[in-house]
Amino acid sequence: MRSFPLYLILISIACAGAGPAPAQDILWTQTFGGGGYDYAESMEQTTDGGFIIAGYGSSFAVGSWDVYLIKTDESGDTLWTRTYGDVSTDVATGVTQTADGGYAVSMTEGIGNLLRVDASGDSLWTRDYEMQAYSVQATTDGGYIIAGRRGGHCYLVKTDADGDAVWRNAYPGGEYSVAFSVAEVSGGGYVTGGSAYTGIGDWDYHIVRTAEDGTQLWNRTYGRVLEPDEGWALCESDDDGFVITGLFFATLKVDAAGDSVWSCGFGTGEIGCALSISPTLDQGFLVGGYVNPYGLDEGEYYLVRIDGQGHLCWERYYGAGDGSFDHGFCARPTQDGAYAMVGWSDAFGAGDMDIWLLRINVEGSSVGAPDESRARPTLIVPSPSMGSAEAHLFYLVPEPCRVQLEVFSPLGRRLYKTIRHHAAAGRHDLIWNHRGRPAGVYFVRLSSGASVQSRKLVLLGNSKE
């Protein structure tokens, strides 16, 4: 499992904004676990509005630790839980929803590195790539990209839909390196965010950008001499750059070539670490993790919103206060403009440590239902022409928003996906090359916040080569 440094140096990073969270911020909370120790490291909102949570625990384990997967509805109520493992230690670090409604889970150790389950949580298969896997994302070709460490270096594995490796590559950065996050890039290829021990000073932020075949495009480290700069989470920005965050909530923006654009930090005078970062609808970012204002053995969830230039919009603390250990790990924007955050706590729940899920509404959005007064994008799928190998799709955007377009086979397998991106107002055209696909009815889905539209796409066959 991941270990956090106990040698942290107390620093002060200037910031502004609100302090502790007002009570009305929290819409609801839920705890999960048994009488032992249970932890959550990853969460996604699912297409049905609920949440999938991945972690590990001892409460229901066969061995010392088992993978612990939880599926909830939109109110956080449990739909099902599953554990996976044997007598060894089994630790889950990441989870992503698949096109068929199931899930893929990354693991650092135990029964494998990639676990595939169906929509009910029943295990389909596992794969072992002889690595420590810290992150997994479903890719547009129906496969997966997995990031972690092998042999002391940052390591990536690209697989097909069945989990079989298409390519594997190591990307050294200094003496040691590790990738804690990975993303498919909107322009093609992949990017990892993590840490590298350079040998000059201490740990530095480490970003690797690759092509679709795994070829390294660039490999950069960022940090201060003789100071710890550990990168734990990364996401793509709307302008094709990347934002990485980590120890002390130090956050760095780089452009598409890896050159620094801006940096910022939060959590004044407190020891802590940012463990997740996500883009928001207004081209800003949501950063989540924990701080230790009372000492290393105590803590609070810490949630920060910044704009596209790294300026603080607000900050919030959540926990039981002095004497409790509340460790925030993963925070995500939700489909209705609010937020969710998960981690673990010894102050809430039934056991020594329990998974603690919060639903948060800081900006006062209309949570729980789409804002019907807001204009939504419109998806249009024209009739295809006989003999064409291309389907021309377009959507109309009345006001700027983040959108994603996907194409599914008649059996529900995702065949094409755009990266969720910020779309300006106006018409947006896309071309899907379906050469070699059989004639029949396919489905196109356009997602924007809580709005999801689906249209039929009829392929007539006899596509020209």
158-191 tens-digit pLDDT = 999 999 999 999 999 989 999 999 999 988 999 9
Q: Which pLDDT does position 364 carry in this prediction?
A: 59
Complete DSSP assignment for 199-261: SSSSEEEEEEEE-TTS-EEEEEEE--TTS---EEEEEE-TTS-EEEEEBTT-EEEE-TTS-EE
pLDDT band (50, 70, 90) for residue 2: very low
How buried is residue 122: exposed, middle or buried, by Cβ count under 10 Å (0-12/13-18/19+)? exposed
- Asked if the model's pLDDT at residue 433 lies above 60, the reply is yes
pLDDT per position as a tens digit, 192-249? 999 999 876 689 999 999 999 999 999 999 988 777 889 999 999 988 999 999 999 9
For 283, list phi and psi in degrees, rounded to 5: 70, 15
User: Does pLDDT of 319 surpass 70?
Assistant: yes
pTM: 0.77
Q: What is the pLDDT, as a whole number, of residue 201?
A: 60
Mean local confidence (pLDDT), 377-386: 65
Mean pLDDT of the chain: 84
What is the Cα–Cα distance from 134 to 335, expressed in whole angstroms? 25
pLDDT in tens, 20-52: 455 568 899 999 999 999 999 999 999 889 999
305 pLDDT higher than 80? yes
What per-residue confidence (pLDDT) applies to 9? 24
Report, as an integer, the average pLDDT of 392-397.
81
The 3-state DSSP class for residue 134 equals strand
Question: What does the buried/exposed string (b/e) look like for 334-371 if buried means 16 or more CB atoms within 10 Å of the residue's CB?
Answer: bbbbbbbbbbbbbbbbebebbbbbbbbbbeeeebeebe
Ranges 79-93, 140-154, 308-322, 421-435: which has the least confidence = 421-435
So what's the pLDDT on residue 448? 76
The mean pLDDT of 297-304, rounded to a whole number, is: 88
* pLDDT (0 to 100) of residue 18: 39
| Residue 17, pLDDT score | 37
**Highest mean predicted confidence (pLDDT) among 67-76, 217-226, 409-418, 422-431:** 67-76
In the chain, what percentage of residues exceed pLDDT 70?
85
Lowest-confidence range among 85-99, 233-247, 251-265, 423-437?
423-437
Residue with tokens 């802590």: 272
- When comparing pLDDT for 274 and 362, which is higher? 274
- pLDDT tens per residue, range 5-18: 322 222 222 233 33
